[in-house]
Structure 1
C-alpha cells in the first residue's frame, strides 16, 4: 500500500458517475413523455402538415411591419407599458419589504401576526399575474388601472419572496447587539437588518422590473392596457405583419432594459 506523505497535496476525488437514481429518473422521464404523447394523440405527420401549409402568422413573421417601431400610437403604448412596469415595481416593492420583514421571527415577535403575514404572502404568490389582471379588469373595467394593480401584486409576490429568502441568511450578531442596547424592533430592523439586505433588495427590484416589463405586454391582451392592448388589436384583425412589427420593437426594448439591469445588479451584489 502506498503511504501518504504528510503535507503532500492529495489528488481530488474522481468525478462520481451518474447514480442509478439519475438513470432511473431519466428513464422515467422518457416513459412519461411517450405516455403523454400517446394520451394526447400527438402526431408528427399532423405537426409537419401544420408547419408546411400556408400560415398567415408565419408570413407576418417573415415580413414584419417595421413602421410600427416609430408609429405614434405604438410609441405611446410602449411608454404606457414602461410606466406600468415602473409604477407597479416601485409600489409593490415598497410594500414587499415590510411584508418580508414581518414574516421573520426577529422582525415580528408576535406569532399569530407573523403566521397571518406569511399566509398573506403565500396567497399573493399563488395567484399568477394574468389572473390578477383578469380579476381587476372584471372589477374596475378595461384600462391601465387593472394592469397597474396586477403588476403591483405581482411585484409584491416576487420581491417579498426573494427578500424573505435573503432575510433567512442575515447575520444575527448585529440584531442581538441592537436589541441588547435597548433598540426597538423597528429601530433594530433599520440599523441592523436593512444595511445587510439593501444591495440584494435593490437587485430584486430591478429583477422585478424586468419581469413586469414582460408581463405588461401579456396583461394588455386581456384589456389591462399597454403595448399588449395594441398587439391584441392587430391580432384580432389578422394583421400579423403589424403584430410582428410590435413584437420586434418590444424585443429590442426588453433586450436593452435587461442588459442594463443585469449590469447594474452585478454591481449591487
Structure 2
C-alpha cells in the first residue's frame, strides 16, 4: 500500500508539472500590423526619393575618396609637435575652462528652474506654463547658433562660448531634471505635507534627495556634451580649441590640424571614461 501510494503521488506530481507546463509556453509572436508595414515602406520610399533629390551618388563618393585629397594626406603627415605647442596647450586649457564654467553655471540655475516648471515644485499653472515655454524656446536653438548670436552681440572670444554653453546646459539640464521630477515617489511628499512642512522644506527633504543621484549623473553627461561642443563653437569665433582648428583649416595646414584633432580625441576619451565610471556609482 505504501509503494502504491507513493507511485500514485509521483504520478500526480508529474501530472501537475505536465499541466503546468502548458502555462509556461511563450505567447505567440504578434504579427506586424498593416499600419506598421505601410509606415516602413513609406519611410523607405521617402529615403530613396530624398537621396535622388540631393544628388547622392555612391560612385561619386568612391571617386572623391580615392582621388588626391590634401586633407587625408595631412592625416598621414600628422605633426605631433603641434599637440604639445604652447598655443595648443593654452587653447585646450581654455576649452576645458569653458566646459567647466558653462556646465557649473547651467547646473546651478537649472535645478530651481526644473523645480518651478513641474507640478510638484510649482502648483501655479500659469508660471509653470511660462517657464516650460521659455525652456522650449531655449532648447530649440542649437549651441552653434547660440555661439553665433553671442559672437555678434558681445564679440569674438571666450565669453561668447561661455554664454552659449550656459544656455545649452540650461536647456538640457532643465529638460532631463523635469522629466525625472515627474516620475518621483509621491509618498515622501505627502508625508512632508501631512507633517506641516512648508513648500521649501518639502522640496528640500522629500524631492531633492530623490532626484539628486540622477541630477548628478545628468550634470556629468552635460559636461561631456559641453566639452565636445566647445571645439565646434570655436569655429565661429567663440574661443577654445575650435579657433585654433579654424586657423589651421583656413591656412590649409592639415597636418597640424590632425595633430590637434588627435589630441582633442584623447582628452575627450579620458574625460568620458572617468565620467562614465562616476555615473555608474551615482545611479
Which range, TM-score by smaller chain?
over 0.9
Farther off after superposition, 47-56 or 143-152: 47-56
SS of residue in 2 equivalent to 1:5? helix
Is residue 183 from structure 1 mapped to residue 197 from structure 2 by the alignment?
yes
SS of residue in 2 equivalent to 1:31? helix
Q: In angstroms, what is the RMSD of aligned CA positions?
A: 1.9
* 1:40-81 Cα distance to aligned partner (Å, 9 max, x none): 222333223222221111111222212122111111111110
Write out the 4+ residue segments of structure 1 that deviate beyond 3 Å after TM superposition.
6-9, 14-26
Corresponding residue of 1:253: 267
Farther off after superposition, 2-11 or 110-119: 2-11
TM-score, with length taken from structure 2 = 0.90
User: Counterparts of 2:71 and 2:239 in 1: how far apart (Å)?
Assistant: 23
Cα gap change, 1:7 to 1:54, in 2 (>3 Å): closer
Q: 1:144 aligns with which of 118, 137, 158?
A: 158
Is residue 40 from structure 1 mapped to residue 54 from structure 2 by the alignment?
yes
Is residue 50 from structure 1 mapped to residue 64 from structure 2 by the alignment?
yes
Is residue 91 from structure 1 mapped to residue 108 from structure 2 by the alignment?
no
Corresponding residue of 2:12: none
Corresponding residue of 1:232: 246
Farther off after superposition, 41-50 or 170-179: 41-50
Structure whose alpha-carbon radius of gyration is higher: 2
Deviation at 1:16, TM superposition (A): 4.0
Corresponding residue of 2:177: 163
User: Counterparts of 1:217 and 1:110 in 2: how far apart (Å)?
Assistant: 41
Deviation at 1:7, TM superposition (A): 8.4
User: Counterparts of 2:21 and 2:262 in 1: how far apart (Å)?
Assistant: 61
User: Counterparts of 1:224 and 1:161 in 2: how far apart (Å)?
Assistant: 25
User: Counterparts of 1:15 and 1:64 in 2: how far apart (Å)?
Assistant: 54
User: Counterparts of 2:122 and 2:264 in 1: how far apart (Å)?
Assistant: 42
* 1:19-55 Cα distance to aligned partner (Å, 9 max, x none): 5444433322321122112212223332232222211
User: Counterparts of 1:267 and 1:19 in 2: how far apart (Å)?
Assistant: 42
Farther off after superposition, 12-21 or 194-203: 12-21
TM-score, with length taken from structure 1 = 0.94
User: Counterparts of 2:31 and 2:72 in 1: how far apart (Å)?
Assistant: 45
Deviation at 1:179, TM superposition (A): 1.6
Deviation at 1:123, TM superposition (A): 1.1
User: Counterparts of 1:16 and 1:72 in 2: how far apart (Å)?
Assistant: 63
* 1:118-149 Cα distance to aligned partner (Å, 9 max, x none): 11111111111001100110000000001000
SS of residue in 1 equivalent to 2:24? coil
Farther off after superposition, 258-267 or 16-25: 16-25
Structure 1: tracts of 5 or more residues without a match:
none
Cα gap change, 1:234 to 1:174, in 2 (>3 Å): same
| Greater share of residues in helix | 2
Corresponding residue of 1:207: 221
